[in-house]
Amino acid sequence: MDTLMLSRLQFAFATFIHFIFVPLTLGLSIIVAMMETKYVRTGDETYKRMAKFWGKLFLINFALGVVTGITLEFQFGTNWSRYSTFVGDIFGSLLAIEATAAFFLESTFLGVWIFGWNRLSPKLHCTSIWLVACAANFSALWIILANGFMQHPVGYVIRNGRAELSSFLEVITNPYGWNAFLHTVTGSWALAGFFVIGVSAWHLLRKQHVDFFTKSFRIAAGFALVSTLLVAAVGHRQGNIVAEVQPAKLAAMESHWETQKNAPMYLFAVPDPDNEKNSIEIGGIPSLLSLMAFNDPAAEVKGLKDFPAEDRPPVTLTFSAFRIMVGLGTAMLILAVLAFIARHHPEEASHKLLKVFLWTIPLPYIALQAGWAVAEVGRQPWIVYGIMRTKDAVSPIAAHQVGISLAAFFVVYILLASLDIYLLAKYARSEPH
C-alpha cells in the first residue's frame, strides 16, 4: 500500500478509537455535574456518592480520550503536511483556539475536581465539574467547526497557492459546522444517558443498591430523552444542509443514481456502484427523499450519475453507514421513551426491559461511529470539499514510516481500548462507596 492509503487508514483508525472515548466524556461530565449540583442543593449524600461513582467511570475514559486526541492534532502535520500548509491559515487557528480557550480549562479543572473533594468548598468543587463539562463541549465546538471548514469551506480565498482567511466570522458561523456540532454533542449526550441507564439496569436486575441506581436511572432517563429528541431534530436539519452544500454525499447516503423531481426513498435497497444502479429496491415511497432533503416533495434531487465518477464518494459504505445511524437513532428514541416512562420505579420494570436497557449500551456507540463515517467517507474524494482532494493532501514521506506507525497504533490502541473497556466494566459493576 502507498503512503496515501496507509495515512488514510491510520487517520481513520486513530479517529475511530478516539471517538469511542470522547462521546461518553461529553455527556457523562454533564450528568456527573447534574448529580453534584443536586448534592450541593439538597445535601443528600447519595448524590455525592453518585457523582463519585459515575465520575470514576468518566475519568477512566477521559484519560484515553485525551491521549488519543493529541495524536490526531499532530497527525495533520506528520501525515497530511500538504493539507496543513494549504489550510493552516484557517484550520490551524481553530485548533489553536480550541487548545487555548477550552482544552486548558477542561484539563486544569479536571485535576482540581479529582483532587479537590476535601480541599474546596462544595460549591467551588461543583463549579469545577461544570467548568470541565462546559469546556469539554466547547472544545468539541472548535474541533467540529474546523471539520466544518473541511466539509463546507467558507470565509476563504485561494491566494498564494493556499486557502487564506477572508472572513473569520463566516468561518465560525459556518452553518454546517454548527449543526454538525449540535448533532454530535446531542448524540454524545444520548450515548452517555444510555450508558448510565444500562449500567443502572444491571444493578437493578440484581436488586442491589436500589435507591442509588434508581436515582441515577431517573436523571439519565430524562437526559437521554431530551438528547435523543434533539439528535433527531438536528439530524433532520443536517440532512437539509448536506443536500444543499454536499449533493454528492446526499446522493451516496441514499444511493440515489438518477437526478429527478419527486425523488422516492426506499425502505430497502442494495447499491451496485459498478453498474451505477441499485441491484435491489424495495418499498419506494414517492417524493419522500425530496421531502426529507429539501422539505419540499417536488424538489429535484441530484443523482450520482450527474457527478463525474472521480468525484463520487464510496457509495456502499456511505449508504450503509447512514442506514445504520438512522435505524439505531430510531431505536434509541423508542428506548428513551420507555426509559422515561419507567423512570420513577425502574426497579419494578420487567426483567426483560432492564435487560434490553443493558444491551442498549453499545447501540449509540455504533450509531455515532456510523454517523462519523457518513460525514467523513461521504466527503471523499475531497479532504476540503470541492477545493482539495485527499490524495493531494498527504505528506511526502516514505510508506514504510507510515506502515510501522500504523502497526504500532493498531497494537497500542487495541490494547488500551480493551483495557479501558475492561476497567469500565469492572468499575461499573463495583459497589458504590
Partner 1 sequence: MDLGTIWFILWGVLWAVYFILDGFDLGIGSIMPFFAKSNEEKRIMYNAMGPFWDGNEVWLITAGGVTFAAFPKTYAVMFSALYTPLMLLLFALILRGVSFEFRSKIDSPGWRKLWDTCNFLGSFLPALLLGVAFANIFKGIPIDQDGILHGNLLTLLNPYGLAGGLLFVALFAHHGALWLAFKSEGDIHDRAVALAGKLWPVVAGLVVLFLVMSLMMTQLFANYLVNPLLFIILLVAVAGLVLTMTYRKAGRILASWGASAVLIGSAALFGVVGIFPALLPSSLNPAYSLTIQNSSSTPMTLAIMLGVALVFVPIVIAYQIWTMRTFSHPVTKADLDYEEAY
Residues that bind partner 1 (CB under 8 A): 52, 59-60, 62-64, 66-68, 70-71, 73-74, 76-79, 81-82, 84-85, 87-93, 95-101, 103-105, 107-112, 114-120, 162, 164-166, 168, 395-397, 401, 405, 408, 412, 416, 419, 423, 426-427, 433
Q: Which is nearer to partner 1, 84 or 316 (CB)?
A: 84
Torsion of CA 279, 283, 286, 287, to 10 degrees: -80
Q: How far is the CB of 429 from partner 1 (least distance, A)?
A: 13
Q: Which is nearer to partner 1, 299 or 416 (CB)?
A: 416
Q: Using alpha carbons, list the distances in angstroms from residue 178 to 69, 184, 284, 363.
A: 21, 10, 32, 25
Q: Which is nearer to partner 1, 121 or 295 (CB)?
A: 121
Q: How far is the CB of 416 from partner 1 (least distance, A)?
A: 6
Amino acid at 431: E
How far apart are the C-alpha atoms of 54 and 256, rounded to whole Å? 44
Query: Residue 81 corresponds to which cell in the numbers above?
Result: 503536511
Q: How far is the CB of 53 from partner 1 (least distance, A)?
A: 11
Q: How far is the CB of 344 from partner 1 (least distance, A)?
A: 31
Partnered with residue 156 across adjacent β-strands are: 165
Q: Are strands 156-159 and 265-272 parallel, antiparallel or unpaired?
A: unpaired
Q: How far is the CB of 36 from partner 1 (least distance, A)?
A: 13
Q: Using alpha carbons, list the distances in angstroms from residue 153 to 63, 148, 164, 248.
A: 32, 7, 11, 16
Q: Which is nearer to partner 1, 70 or 267 (CB)?
A: 70
Q: Which is nearer to partner 1, 105 or 366 (CB)?
A: 105
Q: Which is nearer to partner 1, 36 or 347 (CB)?
A: 36
Q: How far is the CB of 111 from partner 1 (least distance, A)?
A: 4
**269: enclosing H helix or E strand:** strand 265-272
Q: Using alpha carbons, list the distances in angstroms from residue 98 to 105, 178, 353, 414.
A: 10, 15, 41, 27
